[in-house]
Every structure is written in structure tokens, then in C-alpha cells.
Amino acid sequence: MKRYIIALTLVLSAVQTVSAQSHNFKLGQWSEIQNSIIKELNRSYVDSLPVDRIMRAGVNAMLEELDPYTIYIPEEENEDLQMLLSKTYGGIGAIIHKKVGENVIINEPYAGSPAEKYGLQCGDEIIQIDGVPTKDLETKESSDRMKGKPGTTVVFKVKKVRTGDTLDINIVRERIHFPDIEYAGMLDDTTGYILQTGFTDNVSGEIRTKFQELKKQGMKRLVLDLRGNGGGLMSEAINIVSLFVPKGSLAVTSKGNTEESVRKFHTTTEPIDTQIPIIVMIDSGSASSSEIVSGALQDLDRATIMGKRSYGKGLVQSIMPLPYNGQMKITTAKYYTPSGRCVQAIDYSSRNEDGSVGHIPDSLTREFRTAGGRIVRDGGGITPDVDIDFPDYSRLVYALVLGGVIDQYVIDYARRHESIPAVDDFHYTDDDFEDFVRFAKTQDFDYRSSAKTLYDQMKKELEKDGLAESMKPELDALEKALEMDKERFIRLKKDEIIPFIEEELATRYWFQEAGVKIRLRYDEQLKTALTKPMI
């Protein structure tokens, strides 16, 4: 028997060697073919060869065949990579609004930013940036001119929103960091709440600090809100798990393309609390490190996961240096929760419109067990213990928000109102809403209902099939029933629209944390979660 085992081992080794040689031969073959194509194009193509453009397109197309997360970053885009990894950039710290042929408008300065320190506020017009008129600039070019190395100065010519005065303002750029903890506070006498939107360096330390502060305020249970959190550093995800489970607990396992690449990551620090009940909120925008945290706390029976199924990104990326200061973000492993689940979607190329994983039948998934014996499944994302639907907004609300109508109204409101009440006392009234209706009526946007858009599509298909004329009476009657003028439709959706206006106004006058407070005021999904029994 031993002889047969040795023989089998030699055969397998030979097969692996041949396979590796075949792979390397094909790689060399295609490299040679590619180089020959480029040389021949350069020598024979009828027009001047746009080498940079076609090579970049070729690289992008090649990487897109692998997965959505393996990408090439040339030197000129390194700033964008730093923004992705650390949520930081050099600049003045403000969101701008820009229409073609008009000046840049300060839309939303960040609390504590240079924009705030130097007195810029919502509605201020930036006429020039370092002497360059902004009317002729694109939005991105305007933004890029505002950015720069921390410590350098940018000179703005500003028309102030309140007085109409035109001033020259010299602003020293700083390193702007978007906080990973957007808000932490008490929802009621016993429920603490932390809204975490990223996983950059030391966010686990921030959560530790916020947790301890909330406990001093009487917190008896914690809501960790990871909805919309697209992830970040895996190390920070592990550190957050470490805060709430015993030292030495398995947090996540990563597996590359060889047995040697398997790595198990255990918690290495003492927890701050292993008993307090925890609710983790997730949705289709919760991805990557958010899924490591929610998956680990679910598998270890340490938290109750509530909301909707997460995105399903179970891939680990590493940054590799390339020639000429380029870099490649490359998928090097898949990660697995403590029970052994891989949360990567079975088919990451087929998703719902919002990017979430579609329905996966149990026959295509496998069953795993949590530390306490509960059944959990793989196949795509983290499935919550308690499924809670989000609000279903009308098409009109999406048009008002995504079309910038509410944004432009808020800027107009800020021009006309020097202040609003403190956020806890601020409520957008019915009389205020009449002001919005008057503004929105003057704006050009697609205000059709979902039913009307479906009707328009159906009518076009009937026209293609030659059926519209024979059905004209029925179609005319249906169109008349679905028609609704802009003003009437806006009034009909008042209760949906007001929370968005309140949040945006609070943010402009009292900064980002105030906006979160308004959002919590209307968060029906969270309110439902607080009434559900915990596992």
C-alpha cells in the first residue's frame, strides 16, 4: 500500500508541474502576442496611435474579466486611492454645487473644516479660485482646484450670501478626514447608538471610546448601525469584534489560492464588554468589513443582526506597487466567518438594481451552525436574524433628491434665512412646505409616478406592435386617470418629502451630526428594530 501512495504522490506532483509549466507558457505566449500587436499598430495604423488610451482600456478590460474589485490605479489617481483607503484628502472641507455657466456655490461646509473656520457658509458664491473664474469650469475641475497639499493656500473671490459683499479669502488647506463614526448618542434612557460609516485606521479605538461614554450615560443595550457601510480595513473589523467577545475568539479566516495562504485571525485583546445586548443593523449597502463584523458577532451569538441582507462581498484586496508609481488593488483571498461561511455572492455579476444579492434558493447554499447551534447559511451576504423592510419611497421623492431639487431649494432657503432653531426644536412646518411647493413648481424635473412611467413604456411597446391605434380609447382613459400635475403630486407626497428637507436644512445650519439626528427622528426601520425581541 505504501508503494501505491508514493506512486500516486509522484503522479500528482508531475501533473501539478506540467500544469504550472502550461500556465506559464500561455502567459508568456500572450505577453508576446500583446507586445507584437502594439508594435504593429504603432508601425502601421493609419492615424496617430493613442497609446495611453488604448493601453489603459486594455488593462481595464482585462481586469474586469476577473472581478469588480481588482483595478489598476495610475500615479495620477493615487489621491483617489488614498481617499478610498483612509477617507482623507487635502482641501478646504466643503461640498460644492455647480451648474454649467454659473459660479461655484458652497453647499455644505464640514464642521471644524477650513471652510467653516474661514467663514464660508451655505449659499456663498465662489467667483474665482486662485484668480481663475469658476463660471467656465466643470464641477470636477472646480473641486480639483480647491484640493491640494495640506498647508498650502488657496485664494477665493467670494460673494457672501447674506450681505452680497465680494471678498478675497485666503484659506490654508488641511488634511480633511471624513469621520467613520458619524454619530454616537442615546436613543432613549437605556439604548446607546453608534452610526459607523467606514473602517479606516483606529475606528475601533473610536468605538471603544464612544461605548465607554454611552455606558456612563446609562446604556443597557447598544445599536451598532452598519447600514450603508461599504467596509475598509479588515484589521479594524477584527479589532471591533475584539471589543465584544472573549480574547482568543476566531473572528475571520482568509483563504487564497494555496493551502499555505490560509490565515485564521483571532481576537488578541481583552474585550470591553461581553454581556451587553447588541443589535447590529445592516442592509444591502453593508459590505466587506461590515460583513466581517456582523458575520462574526452573529456566528459567535454575540449580537442580533437586524435589517436586510448585506451586499455579499467576501473578497480581500491587497495593494501591490507597479512601475511608474502605479498600483494595483488585487483580490488575493476570500474571507470566511467563524462558522465557515463565505459571504461572497455566488454570482457577483448578477445583482438587484440596488446592488444587493438577489434571492438564492436554499438548494444552492450550505448550512452552518453558530456557536450556540443556530442555523445560518452562505451564498451571498449576511442574512439578518430579524428581517425588517426599509420604507418604500415614491419615484417622485427619488426625483427630488437625486435630481438635486431639494439640494437647490435648501441653498435658496439658506440665502433667505439667517438661522433655524436648534436641531432638537427644529421642525419643518406645513407653512414651510408651501414655500417648497412654490420653489419645486419652477424646477424642471421628471415628476411622473412609477405607474405613469410604466404606462409610457407600455404605450411605446404597443406602438411598436401596431396595437396602440386600435386601443386608443382605453389608452386615453388610462392616461387621463394617471395624469397628475406637479403641484398636486408634490402635496400628495408631503410626508415623504419633509424628512429629507429637514435633514438637509439641519445639516447646512448645524452640520452633519445634526442631519443624522433628524434622520433618526424618521427612521422607521430602526424604530421597528428596537421593538423586536433579541436572540
Residue 284 inside a domain? The answer is: yes
Give the CATH number for residue 325: 3.90.226.10
426: its cell numbers:
427644529
State residue 20's pLDDT score: 54
Assess whether 284 carries a catalytic annotation.
Answer: no
Catalytic, out of 299, 378, 385, 407: 299
State residue 17's pLDDT score: 53
Residue 58 inside a domain? The answer is: no
State residue 476's pLDDT score: 87
| Pair 295, 363: CB distance under 8 Å | no
Asked if residue 280 and residue 210 are part of one domain, the reply reads: yes
Catalytic, out of 284, 286, 288, 339: 288
- 147 contact partners, CB below 8 Å, separation of at least 6: 79, 89, 90, 91, 173
Assess whether 288 carries a catalytic annotation.
Answer: yes
Residue 29 inside a domain? The answer is: no
- 492 contact partners, CB below 8 Å, separation of at least 6: 484
CA distance 475 to 420: 48
147: its cell numbers:
484640493
Final residue in a domain of this structure, among 387, 407, 428? 387
State residue 138's pLDDT score: 93
DSSP state of 340: S
Task: Give the SS3 label for residue 444.
Answer: coil
User: 10-residue block means of pLDDT along the chain (535 residues)?
Assistant: 51 52 75 87 87 89 89 83 80 92 94 95 95 94 94 96 93 94 97 97 96 98 97 96 98 91 95 98 96 98 97 90 91 94 73 61 80 91 94 92 94 93 94 95 90 89 89 87 87 96 96 96 97 93
Q: How many helices (H) and strands (E) does the chain have?
A: 16, 21
Q: What is the bridge-based pairing of β-strands 263-266 and 71-73?
A: unpaired
Asked if residue 373 and residue 325 are part of one domain, the reply reads: yes
Residue 25 inside a domain? The answer is: no
Asked if residue 239 and residue 199 are part of one domain, the reply reads: yes
The backbone region for 324, taken as left when phi is positive above 0, alpha when psi lies in -120 to 50, beta otherwise, is left
Asked if residue 293 and residue 215 are part of one domain, the reply reads: yes
Give the CATH number for residue 147: 2.30.42.10
Asked if residue 431 and residue 296 are part of one domain, the reply reads: no
Question: What b/e sequence results for 350-375 when a residue is b if at least 16 CB atoms lie within 10 Å of its CB, and e otherwise?
Answer: ebeeeebbeebeeeebeebebeeeee
State residue 353's pLDDT score: 62
Task: Give the SS3 label for residue 421.
Answer: coil
Residue 195 inside a domain? The answer is: yes
State residue 81's pLDDT score: 73
Assess whether 144 carries a catalytic annotation.
Answer: no
Q: Side chain identity at 220, as an amino acid letter?
A: K
State residue 351's pLDDT score: 59
Diameter of the chain by CA atoms?
94
State residue 4's pLDDT score: 53
State residue 300's pLDDT score: 98
DSSP state of 58: H
Asked if residue 364 and residue 381 are part of one domain, the reply reads: yes
Asked if residue 366 and residue 382 are part of one domain, the reply reads: yes
State residue 359's pLDDT score: 58
How many domains, in total, are found in the chain? 3
State residue 202's pLDDT score: 93
Asked if residue 296 and residue 433 are part of one domain, the reply reads: no
E strands, 102-242, where? 104-109, 125-129, 132-133, 153-159, 166-172, 174-177, 181-186, 191-196, 221-225
The backbone region for 366, taken as left when phi is positive above 0, alpha when psi lies in -120 to 50, beta otherwise, is beta
State residue 206's pLDDT score: 97
What are the residues facing 184 on neighbouring strands? 194
Asked if residue 191 and residue 290 are part of one domain, the reply reads: yes
Range of the domain at 113: 88-177
Asked if residue 266 and residue 140 are part of one domain, the reply reads: no
Final residue in a domain of this structure, among 371, 387, 403? 387
Residue 309's CB: how many other CB atoms inside 10 A?
23
Residue 490 inside a domain? The answer is: yes
Asked if residue 130 and residue 106 are part of one domain, the reply reads: yes
Final residue in a domain of this structure, among 126, 142, 177? 177
Catalytic, out of 98, 313, 329, 517: 313
Residue 80 inside a domain? The answer is: no
E strands, 54-120, where? 71-73, 88-91, 94-97, 104-109
Asked if residue 209 and residue 171 are part of one domain, the reply reads: no
State residue 535's pLDDT score: 86
Residue 478 inside a domain? The answer is: no
